[in-house]
Amino acid sequence: MIDIILENSPYIRIHDGRATMPTGLLVEKWLVYYYPIFDSEEDIPQIYGNANIAFRDKFLDVIRYYKDKGGLSVFYNDLKYKGMPQGIRDDFSALANKMADTILKMPIKYIGRSISDDYYSIFTYERIRLRNISQERNLHWLIHQYGSFSIPADYFDAFRLLGSFMNGKDSIFHKWAEFSVNASKEPLAIERVIGKVLISPITDRDVQQSKKIYREVLNLQKQVYCVWTGAEITRYDIDHMIPFSAWKNNDLWNLLPARPNVNRVKRNKIPDADTIEKQKDIILHYWELIDKQQPGRFRNEMQISLLGEHPLTNWHQPAIERLKQNCDYLINTRGFEAWHI
């Protein structure tokens, strides 16, 4: 949940003192975190005793399918971009259903019992499903499949401000690893468990593939302009507008051509709202180019990362405004250094 909040998902809604978000986004996070744990050659237990995690067997079916196809990275790319292949689609649906059911009947139900006698005392669940406009088994389908949950707005504010402090001996990840070690009957190092939990589904190879797609689109153009200076350039870097170190986002809308020396100066800084507004026309120019050449991927990524429930028709200005909000959040709440031209 903290991950979803720190990513400033456009699907988050604040209303009547509560923050609401799709349950499917929780399912996505569980898929990403549990995949390397269940795929590990070492047994990393997630429950005491001989009982099994409810969705483990279904997850192992999916892991076996991807074993010789690239593992977690290829699985996540299918989930986010292509949709699950026909050969694993039914198994994935069964896994997602079981995982959502486990989330709703276990942590969401019981968290808060230390301060209240009521179930669902902090989390509430809305069973009405959002309008499912995707028939593919992908991230868009997850978001619209399992309704939504909410937490009090003051909890949301606390996680938004303090959620990034998840390191050190008392961190969430360290406690998770400590639990796995204590539940294991075999010698198991905390550091190894943490390493599994923190594996990213986006590899350097995936980043380079996205940049290659972007370069192929630019090669169709007779002229390329630096997104930050507006100058015509013959040599350029493909810059993560919001740096990968700040937000592991490899979406095509987040990749833009920049003069190499300008890109070196920008590095891991976040463009502020004034800079985005000043360069809005050229940003939109590149977004339109990508939309023409890669409409399926571009629009799917734009919807999930920037637009949320806003319709894809007339996406230009809403996407720019959401980009400004995300950058302001990273600068003013998360404390990243601003970059201004």
Q: Is the pTM of this model over 0.95?
A: no
Convert 163-223 into a string of H (helix), E (strand) and C (coil).
Answer: CCCCCCCCCHHHHHHHHHHHHCCCCCCHHHHHHHHCCCCCCHHHHHHHHHHHHHHHHCCCC
Are 233 and 225 spatial neighbours (Cβ–Cβ below 8 Å)? yes
Q: Assess whether 193 and 153 both reside in one domain.
A: yes
- pLDDT score of 128: 62
- Last residue in a domain, options 177, 197, 217: 197
- Last residue in a domain, options 138, 171, 197: 197
- pLDDT score of 23: 96
Q: Assess whether 15 and 159 both reside in one domain.
A: yes
| Token duo for residue 318 | 């809403």
- pLDDT score of 131: 54
Q: Assess whether 79 and 108 both reside in one domain.
A: yes
Instruction: Specify the number of domains making up the chain.
Output: 2
- 226 contacts: CB under 8 Å, gap ≥ 6: 233, 236, 257, 258, 259, 262
| Token duo for residue 235 | 């040599």
Torsion, Cα 52 58 59 64, to 10 degrees, reads 120
Q: Assess whether 54 and 176 both reside in one domain.
A: yes
pLDDT along the chain (341 residues), means of 10: 91 96 96 94 83 91 96 94 93 96 94 91 79 74 93 93 67 83 84 82 87 90 91 91 89 93 93 96 95 92 94 93 95 91 87
Its domain, for residue 322, covers 204-339
Which residues on neighbouring strands pair with residue 258, listed in sequence order?
237
